[in-house]
Amino acid sequence: MQGPDKIRHGARSPKSATIEPSLIFFLTDPATGYMLADNNRHAKAGKQEHTMDELRKFVAPEFIFGPGALASTGSYAKQFAAEKVMLVTDEGVLSAGWAQKVAASLEKEGLATEIYSNVSPNPRDHEVMEGAETFLKTGCDLMVAVGGGSPIDCAKGIGIVSSNEQHILEFEGVDRVPVPGPPLICVPTTAGSSADISQFSIICDSRRRVKVAIISKSLVPDLSLIDPGTTTTLPPKLTAETGMDALVHAIEAYVSNASSPITDINGIKAVSLIRNHLEPALNHPLEMDHRSAMMLASLLAGLAFSNASLGLVHAMAHSLGGRYDLSHGESNAILLEPVVDFNFDHARGKYSDLALAMGLEPFQDPKETRQRLVETLAGFRERVGITTRLSHLGISKEELPALADFAMTDPCIVTNPVMPTKKEIEELYAKAF
């Protein structure tokens, strides 16, 4: 176990200090680092095939799943030899009382805690920089993030800024984090962003008004304490939006060009769990069976997308979210159907599996599968209460070329089953108006 000074400067446990840049995602594309499947082969076959003799890696943090997991934060923080903890959270989580429960667990172990809660729903670059300054100034040596994707992504950013002494935006892209941050324990309170599982951090560049994706093995938290009870206080709108985000994670990872048999098992199971439990979780918010099932779905979807990456829905949603400061889950939900319709013929077999997981019967005609799958996703979205279109969110059609331009540069687009043109992306946005 290392002393606090070493931890603060990023030289943490051997498992996380050893970064293997060339192996992230088992990527072979030198420009992006992703190991991409052969699109031509897939297009001919009408599906994405896996062979079991391909070399694969799967990155995941240690996690504890179950009711009461939150209460062990203090004892786990002690195991990292922490002396002073920065607890990163936001106002909503403070109002619900979960951050205070985590703080009490830390206090019980005699750990001093500095709370940082200046975190927006789409965390900003300057919030990360301010958090890093506070982390260093107050002599913290470990971070605990309590909340949904925003506090967790912000905490990841604070960690790598404090260990590298660089601006957060300098890490944009794949594998651009030289030194890992201090130890990070996550307590997710949504189901979910899966930021507590993933090697992603999404931060808003407030000057350019775009969301940048930072993807690195260094961003995988050290430990996630996944306590489904924390989701019982979620407002219905957040339950629906975060649940739809998890559904899009699972679907995009499943059809991703970097998917593998291991990510597939997690992705497809997540889809069926969300199909069966998201509506009941909304209708019976205090029933733990549904909350636990949704938390499990979020975990599985996170394991899938952290290793297979995402696709065009996320690339387009990141572009929208940065410019208009929209809800991430709502943007994804609105964009999912046009993107599935567009992608379908480039991963027919995979989308047919997803149709079954969404409760459809198998159809002989792929065109019928495509149409019924898109209709089913639309019905599901509406039943969970997301009925907005982009036109309701104050988006101007004149902005579509700029939105498409930025979506083309998002790292998530690289693993979409087919690379769209800028004009095709504009048309997809237009379909969501």
Write down the least CB distance from residue 249 to Fe ion, Å.
Answer: 6
Q: Which is nearer to Fe ion, 90 or 330 (CB)?
A: 330
Write down the least CB distance from residue 247 to Fe ion, Å.
Answer: 10
Write down the least CB distance from residue 121 to Fe ion, Å.
Answer: 13
Q: What angle do CA 19, 213, 123 make, to 5 degrees?
A: 115
Q: Name the nearest CA neighbour of 250 among 172, 174, 304.
A: 304
Binding Fe ion (rule: CB under 5 A), the pick from 153, 245, 353, 410 is 245
Phi, psi of 248 (to 5 degrees): -70, -40
In what order do the strands lie in the sheet containing 200-205?
Answer: 173-174, 210-215, 200-205
Write down the least CB distance from residue 248 to Fe ion, Å.
Answer: 6
Q: Which is nearer to Fe ion, 127 or 245 (CB)?
A: 245
Q: Which is nearer to Fe ion, 245 or 426 (CB)?
A: 245
DSSP type of residue 87: E
DSSP type of residue 47: S
Q: Name the nearest CA neighbour of 92 among 8, 190, 224, 194.
A: 190
Q: Name the nearest CA neighbour of 158 among 179, 185, 127, 189.
A: 127
Q: Name the nearest CA neighbour of 179 among 301, 17, 49.
A: 17
Q: Which is nearer to Fe ion, 211 or 269 (CB)?
A: 211
Q: Which is nearer to Fe ion, 125 or 245 (CB)?
A: 245
Across 164-199, b (16+ Cβ under 10 Å) vs e yields bebebbebbbbbbbebbbbbbbbbbbbbbbbbbbbb
Q: Which is nearer to Fe ion, 187 or 335 (CB)?
A: 335
Separation of alpha carbons 75 and 167, rounded Å = 32
Q: Which is nearer to Fe ion, 122 or 162 (CB)?
A: 122
Contact 304, 270 (CB under 8 A): yes
Residue sitting closest to Fe ion (CB): 245
User: Quick one: tokens of 136?
Assistant: 């260093």
Write down the least CB distance from residue 251 to Fe ion, Å.
Answer: 11
Q: Dihedral, CA atoms, 194, 219, 328, 348, nearest 10 degrees? A: -70
Strand partners, 185: 144, 223
Write down the least CB distance from residue 179 to Fe ion, Å.
Answer: 26
Separation of alpha carbons 77 and 223, rounded Å = 10
Residue that is written with structure tokens 């990141």 in the block: 318
Q: Does 410 engage in binding with Fe ion (CB under 5 A)?
A: no
Write down the least CB distance from residue 210 to Fe ion, Å.
Answer: 16
Separation of alpha carbons 382 and 356, rounded Å = 20
Query: Binding marks (x or -) toward Fe ion, 344..363, rule CB under 5 A?
Result: --------------------
Span of 169-177, 204-212, 239-247, 260-268 interacting with Fe ion by CB under 5 A: 239-247
Q: Which is nearer to Fe ion, 169 or 316 (CB)?
A: 316
Write down the least CB distance from residue 163 to Fe ion, Å.
Answer: 25
Strand partners, 147: 188
CB atoms within 10 A of CB 13: 14
Q: Which is nearer to Fe ion, 245 or 337 (CB)?
A: 245
Q: Which is nearer to Fe ion, 77 or 428 (CB)?
A: 428
Span of 204-212, 243-251, 286-294, 393-401 interacting with Fe ion by CB under 5 A: 243-251
Q: Which residues, numbered 25-44, are part of the site for Fe ion (CB under 5 A)?
A: none
Separation of alpha carbons 360 and 383, rounded Å = 17
Write down the least CB distance from residue 195 to Fe ion, Å.
Answer: 9
Span of 107-115, 137-145, 160-168, 238-246 interacting with Fe ion by CB under 5 A: 238-246
Query: Binding marks (x or -) toward Fe ion, 172..201, rule CB under 5 A?
Result: ------------------------------
Total residues contacting Fe ion by CB under 5 A comes to 1
Span of 107-115, 237-245, 265-273, 417-425 interacting with Fe ion by CB under 5 A: 237-245
Write down the least CB distance from residue 69 to Fe ion, Å.
Answer: 22
Separation of alpha carbons 133 and 139, rounded Å = 10
Q: Which is nearer to Fe ion, 245 or 353 (CB)?
A: 245
Q: SS3 letters for 164-208?
A: HCCCHHHHCEECCCCCCCCCEEEEECCCCCCCCCCCEEEEEECCC
Span of 241-249, 347-355, 396-404, 406-414 interacting with Fe ion by CB under 5 A: 241-249
Contacts with Fe ion, residue ranges (CB under 5 A):
245
